[in-house]
Amino acid sequence: MSNAPVPPDGPIGAQPDIPVCARHSDRPTRLRCSRCDRPACPDCLRDASVGMQCVDCVNEGARTVRQARTSAGAVVSHGRPIITQVMIALNVLAYVVTVVQSGSPMNNSRAGLFTATSMIPELTANGEWWRILTSGFMHFGLIHLVLNMAALFVVGPVIEQELGKLRYSAVYFLSLLGGSAAAFFFGTVCQQLAGASGAVFGLMGALLIVFKRQKRDISTILVIVGINLVSNLFTNASLLGHLGGFVIGGLLTLAMVKAPAKNRNAYQIGAVVAAALLLGVMFVLRASELDTAAEVILEYARTCR
């Protein structure tokens, strides 16, 4: 009895060729995409509801699947609130610079940067228009900064997720300008203005609209806003600035969430442009009343002493 010799090339019988990955010709594979049935290596396959699909089929499916959107038209996302974080970082950075310049964390308004960028009505009216924006990044001392940044940290991400980064940025900056415009137009030349409160109150107005739209309880928001507004009567905070930001932020957000799905972007852009024009007119009209140094001096003597 003897054993039959084994051929040197392997077992008896033909071996079929192993296919190669459709995306990587140097990778043999027995795996296939459950959608297109092409060979695919493990690196090119993704888990699907049934089987596994190649990356090309996954990408094709993502293009054809309708993405969920918020009431304002933003794509539903749970990513980081980048704009909110950037705004907080800029405010903190500006505060640190003023502290270094002044040598004091509480009396930083003596810093050169603070003097050059806070909103001093008579200087703003005489051509230093950058102050209506830059004043929103200056703060009177550490407590003022912490209160505003804490509110922004809590409210900002909610509104950023609902509106999306671009709409959120528009609401933030127009609310900031709305606070400056209200204080400039309706106020006197007596008060030096600074702080992100106009923008923060604008986001509170936006939050009120968003919660109302989602049929959520708004009583807590109303109480917080009410307490803050009443406290303005007993502090040096600008009630007009807070109200201006709150109104602009709320109305602009209302226009965004109420815009019809058809031509939504056009309606929302129109709302942003209308708000910007309104604020611009307010600044120009008020500045025209204070177009000479003599008139500023007269108003200062009449209302500030």
Instruction: List the one residue out of 199, 243, 183, 179 whose CA is nearest residue 86.
Output: 199
This prediction has a pTM of 0.75
Digit-coded pLDDT (tens) for 264-298: 899 999 999 999 999 999 988 888 877 665 566 56
- Which residues lie closer than 8 Å to 214 by C-beta, 6 or more apart? 71
Asked whether the predicted pLDDT for residue 261 surpasses 60, the reply is yes
The domains located in the chain, with CATH, are: 19-48 (no CATH), 82-293 (1.20.1540.10)
Mean confidence (pLDDT) of the chain: 85
Asked whether the predicted pLDDT for residue 138 surpasses 50, the reply is yes
Round the CA-based radius of gyration of the chain to a whole number and report it. Answer: 30
Helix axes 165-186, 82-102, angle to 10 degrees: 50
| Residue 41 binned pLDDT confidence (cut-offs 50, 70, 90) | very high
SS3 83: helix
| Residue 14 binned pLDDT confidence (cut-offs 50, 70, 90) | very low
pLDDT at 157: 93
Q: Are 107 and 142 in contact (CB under 8 A)?
A: no
Phi, psi of 12 (to 5 degrees): -70, 140
Digit-coded pLDDT (tens) for 57-92: 888 776 665 667 777 777 777 778 999 999 999 999
| Residue 102 binned pLDDT confidence (cut-offs 50, 70, 90) | very high
Average pLDDT score over residue span 212-217 = 86
Asked whether the predicted pLDDT for residue 111 surpasses 90, the reply is yes
| Residue 191 binned pLDDT confidence (cut-offs 50, 70, 90) | confident
